[in-house]
């Protein structure tokens, strides 16, 4: 069974020109959860001096209830990040590192092995409070500095003893350059050749392959897909990266049981409000079509007001 996570409040906001206030972030998290989105990424503990859009993440965590936080994820990259997030009340942490040393240096100011060496401490901290931790593997397919990434390097990280204890592994097409055959091959190898755990596919739609890649990932064994409202997002440390695959497009294509026209209408409204606040442009084909499709089609949303 495929589940879905909205990453608007982390990856979606990273390249926006505006900083969303904490109360708007909290309201959006609640709107997404209220619409039925199973899991939501609510922010990052990245240095706010470098990524100002992530300022206020701990305040967002503190504002949410424990029930809400049980469905929410926070991006971290060090044990120090983990302690701060746990102290604020978070229980689901996404520990990120890059396959590519060049991107890890640009993003985290350290090499990949240093990040991997700190993972056991991070895992122990999360498990001590009954939380969940994901190993998020950025640049699983290509690096903006070094080019194509050897799949064997991804498998080496997936099988590293220091990664034992992670509940999930997130395979990231950080640049959105992968094609379905590559996604299918890598997800299939991670499924067959590494410890059993949930595989998450995190795709970007830079080259228009976001939904196709998601389909390939699920067919190969991925159980969770990431997406952002309106296809918003990208990595500030990955030149050439486009926005995330739009979560509206993923949901419309996969049609999980909880997703119906009323939920789509809620997401379209939330997306439009967010894009107006950020002065950004919607990239979701589903949201666009839902507004202009005649009402004879059940998924038509109609014009606001």
Picking from 254, 230, 260, the residue whose alpha carbon sits closest to that of residue 242 is: 230
Among 96, 172, 215, 235, the active-site one is: 235
- Are the C-beta atoms of residues 229 and 243 closer than 8 Å to each other? no
- Contacting residues for 19 by C-beta, under 8 A, at least 6 apart: 52, 53, 55
Reply yes or no on whether 172 is catalytic: no
> Tokens at residue 166, please?
């992670």
Using only the alpha carbons of the chain, give its radius of gyration: 18
> Tokens at residue 246, please?
């739009």
- Are the C-beta atoms of residues 297 and 252 closer than 8 Å to each other? no
- Are the C-beta atoms of residues 278 and 17 closer than 8 Å to each other? yes
- Are the C-beta atoms of residues 85 and 69 closer than 8 Å to each other? no
Active centre residues (catalytic): 235
């Amino acid at each position: 069974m495929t589940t879905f996570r909205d990453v608007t409040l982390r990856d979606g906001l990273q390249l926006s020109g505006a900083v969303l206030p904490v109360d708007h972030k909290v309201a959006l998290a609640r709107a997404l959860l209220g619409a039925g989105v199973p899991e939501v990424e609510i922010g990052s503990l990245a240095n706010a001096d470098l990524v100002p859009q992530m300022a206020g993440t701990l305040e967002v965590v503190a504002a949410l209830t424990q029930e809400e936080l049980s469905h929410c994820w926070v991006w971290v990259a060090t044990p120090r990040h983990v302690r701060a997030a746990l102290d604020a009340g978070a229980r689901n942490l996404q520990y990120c590192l890059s396959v590519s040393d060049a991107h890890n240096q640009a993003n985290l100011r350290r090499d990949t092995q240093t990040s991997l060496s700190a993972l056991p401490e991070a895992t122990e901290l999360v498990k001590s409070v009954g939380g969940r931790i994901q190993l998020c593997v950025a640049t699983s397919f290509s690096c903006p500095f070094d080019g194509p990434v050897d799949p064997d390097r991804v498998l080496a990280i997936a099988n590293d003893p220091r990664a034992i204890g992670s509940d999930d592994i997130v395979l990231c097409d950080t640049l959105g350059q992968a094609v379905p055959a590559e996604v299918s091959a890598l997800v299939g190898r991670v499924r067959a050749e590494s410890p059993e755990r949930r595989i998450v596919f995190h795709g970007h739609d830079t080259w228009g392959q976001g939904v196709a890649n998601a389909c390939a990932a699920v067919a190969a064994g991925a159980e969770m897909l990431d997406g952002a409202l309106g296809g918003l997002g990208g990595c500030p440390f990955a030149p050439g990266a486009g926005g995330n695959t739009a979560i509206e497009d993923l949901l419309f294509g996969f049609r999980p049981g909880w997703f119906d026209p009323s939920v789509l209408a809620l997401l379209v409204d939330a997306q439009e409000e967010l894009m107006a606040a950020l002065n950004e442009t919607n990239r979701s084909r589903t949201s666009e079509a839902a507004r202009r499709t005649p009402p004879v089609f059940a998924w038509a949303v109609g014009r606001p007001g």
